[in-house]
Amino acid sequence: MSPDVDNANVLLEQINYYRARATEYDDWFLRLGRYDRGEDATRRWFQQVEEVRQALATLPLDEKNILELASGTGIWTEELCNRVAHLTAVDASSEMIALNLQRLGDWAEKVTFIEADLFEWHPTQEFDAVVFCFWISHIPVDRIDEFLANVVTMLTRGGTVFFLDARKEHTGTAADHVLPPRDEELMTRRLDDGREFTIIKNFWTAAVLEDKCKRVGLNVEIHETADYFQYGIGTRA
């Protein structure tokens, strides 16, 4: 672990990075520009996206009250809105929230957006499910246990948790990004205009994540696609 990770400036820089990246964020998901790693990689990427979507579709979310953390531009908010009764979406970036609203259109009537730092925010109610996509890798090692314990308090007993993140695969990120080495959690990210930011990027093993979840009262099974994604499905014990 880097000695600078628990410095508040690193986490603030991470927020500022995603605020600055908001308008180009979807290029990563759509495999455009610097994220286009060739026809074969793109084909495998979207095949594995569909695998994750199918897994999410099996969860008991219909007509439920759901919480989405780090909702971003709405790629997964849109998936959830198609099913749930109401969604509370929390993100630290007003720019991301604006794009999410634009993507949802009429679906936005089902969503309450909250702009807040996820390390500081605590809900005033419990939810039937908590979902967070491409967020857990941005949590420092020394804060992951606290975060997962907080997720437990956000869930009703027997409530569902689903989270998704990236596996450590060099073609999953931009061509000019270098993934951090083993046991290093600081990564330099670059925007299209050349600006660089330091963020947290941890690649957890399935065994470690399952154990950490179990310790706080989440029964979670971790799954991995062939190349790009790792996702967890479980319940509050």
Question: Both tokens of residue 237?
Answer: 């014990």
Residue 40 contacts residue 110 (beta carbons within 8 Å): no
For range 87-92, the mean pLDDT: 98
Reply yes or no on whether the pLDDT at 163 is more than 70. Answer: yes
* Residue 218, SS3 per DSSP: strand
Nearest partner of 158 among 132, 130, 121, 135, judged by Cα: 130
Report which of 57, 202, 211, 201 is spatially closest to residue 131, judged by C-alpha positions: 57
Predicted confidence (pLDDT) per residue in 94-141, tens digit: 999 999 999 999 999 999 999 999 999 999 999 999 999 999 999 999
Question: H-helix or E-strand containing 229?
Answer: strand 229-236
DSSP per residue over 122-153, as a string? --SS-EEEEEEES-GGGS-GGGHHHHHHHHHH
DSSP 144-191: HHHHHHHHHHHEEEEEEEEEEEE-S-GGGS-TT--PPPTT--EEEEE-
Tokens of 212: 């950490």
Q: Which two tokens stand for residue 34?
A: 């610097």
What is the structure's pLDDT at 4? 43
CATH numbers and ranges of domains, the chain:
8-236 (3.40.50.150)
Q: Which 8-state DSSP code applies to residue 46?
A: H
Distance CA 85, CA 66 (A): 8
Span 2-48, pLDDT tens digits: 444 456 899 999 999 999 999 999 999 999 999 999 999 999 999 99
Scan for tokens 């090692």, then name that residue.
141
Tokens standing for residue 81: 């809105």
